[in-house]
């Protein structure tokens, strides 16, 4: 999954033609490390339907605070410049696939 920064967020995420999943994470976050390989797998299988990015909240404080990201991992899905889904905390792959089904089955 590619990283996105505060500076690139609007162009890469908000102005995207397709849905975009952003994983807000930090290196010190254990649950973030648990969910990262699951998201990599989902991105590999469904990257044609939805774009995947990760944002390090320690290196990019502006965007997470503007979207009230207080706990990590937080996974936001953006469509048309708006947050259309938020998932907080690590989830098993099956749960994530179910939560994201409306975006990846289209």
List pLDDT tens digits, range 63-91: 999 999 999 999 999 999 999 999 999 99
Provide the pLDDT confidence category of residue 101 given band limits of 50, 70 and 90.
very high
Residues pairing with 3 in the sheet: 54
| Pairing between β-strand 2-3 and β-strand 51-56 as defined by DSSP bridges | parallel
In the chain, alpha helices (H): 9, 30-46, 62-66, 93-99, 101-104
Which of 22, 29, 35, 75 is an active site residue? 29
**pTM of the shown model:** 0.96
Neighbouring C-beta atoms of residue 102, cutoff 10 Å = 13
Read off the pLDDT of residues 16-67 as tens digits, 9 standing for 90 and up.
Answer: 999 999 999 999 999 999 999 999 999 999 999 999 999 999 999 999 999 9
**Could you tell me the two tokens for 72?**
């990590």
Q: Does 32 participate in catalysis according to the annotation?
A: yes
Q: Does 100 participate in catalysis according to the annotation?
A: no
- Give the integer Cα–Cα distance in Å for 56 and 60: 6
Which of 32, 50, 55, 87 is an active site residue? 32
């Amino acid at each position: 999954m590619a990283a996105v920064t505060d500076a690139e967020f609007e162009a890469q995420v908000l102005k995207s033609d397709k849905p975009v999943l952003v994983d807000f994470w930090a290196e010190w976050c254990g649950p973030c490390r648990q969910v990262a390989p699951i998201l990599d797998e989902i991105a590999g299988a469904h990257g044609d339907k939805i774009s995947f990015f990760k944002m390090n909240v320690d290196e990019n404080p502006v965007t997470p605070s503007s979207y009230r990201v207080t706990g990590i991992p937080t996974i936001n899905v953006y469509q048309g410049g708006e947050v259309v889904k938020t998932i907080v905390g690590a989830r098993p792959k099956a749960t994530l696939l179910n939560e994201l089904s409306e975006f990846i089955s289209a």
